[in-house]
Amino acid sequence: MLRFECEGKSYETQGDSAKVSEILSGLGVSKKKVLAAKLDGELLDLTRQVARNGQIEPVSVDSEEGLEVLRHSTAHLMAQAIEKLYPGTKFGIGPCIKDGFYYDVEVAGGKALTEEDFPAIEKEMRRLAGTALPVERTDMTKDEALAFFKKRDDRYKAELISELDAPAVSIYRQGDYVDLCRGPHVPDTSWIRDFKLLSVAGAYWRGDEKNIMLTRLYGTAFASPEELKEHLHRLEEAKLRDHRKLGKELDLFSLHDEGQGFPFFHPKGMAVINRLLDFWRAEHTRRGYDEIRTPLILDRSLWLQSGHWDHYKENMYFTEIDEKPFAVKPMNCPGGILVYKTQIRSYRDLPLRMAELGIVHRHERSGVLHGLMRVRCFTQDDAHLYCTPGQVGGEVAGIMDLCRYIYKDVFGFNYNVELSTRPKNSMGEAVQWEDAEAALRDALESTGTPYRVNEGDGAFYGPKIDFHLEDSIGRTWQCGTIQLDFQMPERFDLTYVGADGKEHRPVMLHRTILGSIERFLGILIENYAGAFPFWIAPVQVKLIPIAEAHGAYAQELIETFRSWGLRTEADGRDEKLGKRIRDAQLQKVPYMIVIGDKEMESRTVAVRARAKGDLGSMTLEDFKALCEVDNALGKR
């Protein structure tokens, strides 16, 4: 006899095992939207036979975990449809990802699948879904599974099985389609109704450029047609906001084959970046930070001492100087530590806040590079804070306040917070990690900050708090981070002289706010769809003289506006006035000023606002006051 509990109810079976679906029925759980369950936290199929007592919890299709099950099952359905349409196709991996799924395939005969093939694949998927094929799990020993897939000439699955460190594996079957998978899956294919194939890309097998290039098909699935429709609308909106497209149209930056992963910033892009950094510097000065700069290339011995050589080497670039090995820095912290060590530090010096807009280089595979969002060279708005153990809570709270001010007050982002704990490749003793995680947890809870725990995702030298921004169309972006580090002070023998005259070990906090300046610019472009707020816009005012006779007054205004600190351009092209106004609108300039006889004679300006339309004629003093109000939005 087995006993199960769910939300205060209990159920006892008559035998020594039972199906999950039978247990839920015995507990009186409605199975209308339930496609899986959790037994003591383990996700299980409804058809799974269990032989142990436990706490059971239904998983509905519209929950986060239920959607993952649905999407993973949809990936299998897509693979089955492809196998039907293109017999002999081989399959790599097909995981669930954020908002969808993908599957890597090698189509028989070397055919390259494109988006033109999607309608036929979707049609076959719907046909298979309509037949309500049961999805059945079978457990095998590792040797049995290896023999099974080798017999099917399925080399990718055989390779995966041979590398598994487990005595047994599971396979899932629906009709004549069989796949290696840990599951769980939907009870039958009729659950899969609201899906869409989205895009196709190339992907090296196992992410290794030395391996064969497979075709990666992306798709998504939802619990209802309304949710799918809403998601597809967001995707269309995201295409319109694509920072790569807008970056080219607005002449902000460019990408070149001669420097893959290394963006080129144009004058207008630099105008945005410089305004952003001016604001960043002023705010950090106000909050007691001192700015430093450290070299791009440093001796290998430093990276061995920091632990990066053992834990991060695959992401680093290397060179030689005078026949000695050097590394291009992937992070700023070891260089900053050397600055700390140039003096004997006292407890009176702490907390010491050292900020650095440091350029770092990290090796990213070409397949994951993406505009400004994933690059090989970027500028971190870094800072390292050295403090006593008793100062940690206050310093973390201060960083969190800075994040809130910049994210919410200045840029209008909502955001959520995660606490990431010790990863598998961590340095240091467990007790140090426990203390570090407790310190961050206390800081979050003492400030009343809601957060979720992201187990095992900390940095190799310490746990961290991550900030995820939500943009104007609901997407989230990880930007800021606060990392609490006991390891680097130990490795570099950092000390300060305490009030007792003895040496003590400082606690080190690593933090970024914007994260990567390049990536944050990409986020801003997409969040605002290129229509930057006035204070950070690359061109704030566009002057449009109606005729050549008005050019001299336009030039005079340019000089006046620039003396006010306004980023100003004039469009005196030999084009119709309407076209020049439309072009200024397409460039998303906050203010357009049309100059004609009336304005020149009265020495006024006719102002048109990007957001509000025609504001009418006004004096230069009134326009200056208007701009000062808008420019202040980026300041406290």
List, by residue number, the catalytic residues: 333, 362, 380, 382, 384, 464, 510
**Residue 234, token pair as written in the block:** 């967001």
Q: CA–CA distance from 45 to each of 21, 80, 182, 288, 462 (Å)?
A: 9, 20, 10, 55, 37
Q: List residues bridging with 541 in a β-sheet.
A: 568, 591
DSSP state of 506: P
> Rg of the chain over CA atoms, in angstroms?
30
Interatomic CA distance for residues 631 and 565, integer angstroms: 10
For 475, phi and psi rounded to 5 degrees? -80, 155
Which three-class secondary structure state does DSSP give residue 512?
strand
Sorted by sequence, the CB contacts under 8 Å of residue 49 that are 6+ apart come out as 17, 18, 19
Q: Which residue has the tokens 């990007």?
A: 610
What CA dihedral angle connects 249, 567, 552 and 570, to 10 degrees?
10
Q: CA–CA distance from 371 to each of 246, 329, 534, 618 (Å)?
A: 11, 22, 24, 41
- Around Cβ 351, how many Cβ atoms within 10 Å? 17
Where does 345-495 show beta strands of DSSP type E?
352-361, 377-387, 414-420, 452-454, 464-470, 476-485
**Residue 428, token pair as written in the block:** 């240091």
Please report which residue ranges of 564-618 form alpha helices under DSSP H: 577-586, 597-602
Are the CB atoms for 61 and 33 separated by under 8 Å? yes
3-state secondary structure 346-374: EHHHCCEEEEEEEEEECCCCHHHCECCCE
Interatomic CA distance for residues 216 and 206, integer angstroms: 12
**Residue 270, token pair as written in the block:** 């630099």
Interatomic CA distance for residues 608 and 581, integer angstroms: 10
| 317-321 and 324-328 beta bridge pairing | antiparallel
Select from 307, 315, 314 the least CA-distant residue to 333: 307
Q: CA–CA distance from 65 to each of 42, 47, 54, 184 (Å)?
A: 11, 17, 19, 10
Interatomic CA distance for residues 516 and 360, integer angstroms: 10
Q: List residues bridging with 324 in a β-sheet.
A: 321
